[in-house]
Amino acid sequence: MQKIPSILFFLAFLLPFSSEANHHKSLDADDIEVMKKELSNWGRWGEDDQKGALNLITPQVRKEAAALVTEGISVSTARDVIKTIAPDNPRPFMHTMVGFGEQWNSDNYSVSYHGFAHSHMDALCHYIDAGKLYNGFSASGVTEKGAAKLDIRNAKEGIFTRGVLIDATKLKNQKYLEPGTALYPEDLDAWEKMSGVKIRKGDAVLLYTGRWARRDEVGPWQSGSAGLYASCARWLKERDIAVMGSDGGSDVSPSGIDGYSSPIHLMMLNVMGVPILDNLELERLAKTCEELGRYEFLLTVAPIPVEGGTGSPLNPIATF
């Protein structure tokens, strides 16, 4: 673990890290089709595998992640649930008290967690492409009863690995990124140099764009988000990550690629078998990373093991 002097961040701001200053190739649908074949992890861990990139979190990876806990500081990365309808939350979290004021206080919860409001994990069965799920399983196995393959129970033992924060707001020297702002592989290279942390096999990568800070300041909005351009999928495959997460949906929106609204979701969930953590709240984590001068930590994730479930609400914890 490397402490990062604040002066290095100051000096880094003087460098031309904006994606506009770099040259990058705009992708089209044909490029996405090529990437689907090039980046595929189908069959990598066997034709019956349902864990995907979680296989990269080996006992050795877990032990190395545990060794990152030196300060005893834990930070939640979950957004408090939103109970009111908003442009980005058409299906609010429902909290109903069914008994209170006597011997027992009791309540019920109900949430449709997929979307752009609630912190949750996407299981590998969440994304269908050309009638197929990850590893070639047929989408016909997903019915009104749930998903017969690749459901959230494949993460029942939990995720326990090194987490790495990519703070795009610090990289760009902005309070938050505006919706539609795309990050490219050269930005990810720049962050590795700035932070001194090299992303490696089995890591959980969390992208901070300042989404919730912007929402708190200007209010909710209906569409558009900062995030990764599709070409970043190749970069992430080269690093061989196990988990992808962000304070939005990881994808930049609009994606800029006709026919593919969420190419990062496609590449992670369907092609590479990398589960995604959506709508995390990363403000406190980013602040803690800056205060400690380190952008790596132990990340623990424990989804609810629902048979057939396409994901789960959750509260991932970063511990330093």
Domains in the chain, CATH or no CATH each: 6-79+119-319 (3.50.30.50)
Bridge partner residues of 161 (DSSP): 299
* Separation of alpha carbons 31 and 253, rounded Å: 18
* Separation of alpha carbons 149 and 64, rounded Å: 31
Place of tokens 């009111």: 84
* pLDDT tens, residue by residue, 237-272: 999 999 999 999 999 999 999 999 999 999 999 999
Positions of the chain with pLDDT under 50: 1-2, 6-22
* Separation of alpha carbons 18 and 24, rounded Å: 12
Rounded (to 5) percent helix, strand, coil in the chain: 30, 20, 50
Q: How far is CA 116 from the centre of its chain?
A: 12
What is the reported pLDDT for 23? 57
81's CB contacts (< 8 A; 6+ apart) are 93, 95, 111, 118
What is the reported pLDDT for 107? 87
H-type helices in 111-245, by residue range? 168-172, 185-195, 211-218, 232-239
* pLDDT tens, residue by residue, 87-136: 999 999 998 988 888 888 888 889 899 999 999 999 999 999 999 999 99
Whole-structure pTM value? 0.91
266's CB contacts (< 8 A; 6+ apart) are 32, 36, 127, 129, 260
Say which amino acid occupies 282.
Answer: L
What is the reported pLDDT for 53? 98
Q: How far is CA 189 from CA 11, 23, 99, 236, 271, in A?
A: 16, 14, 54, 11, 23
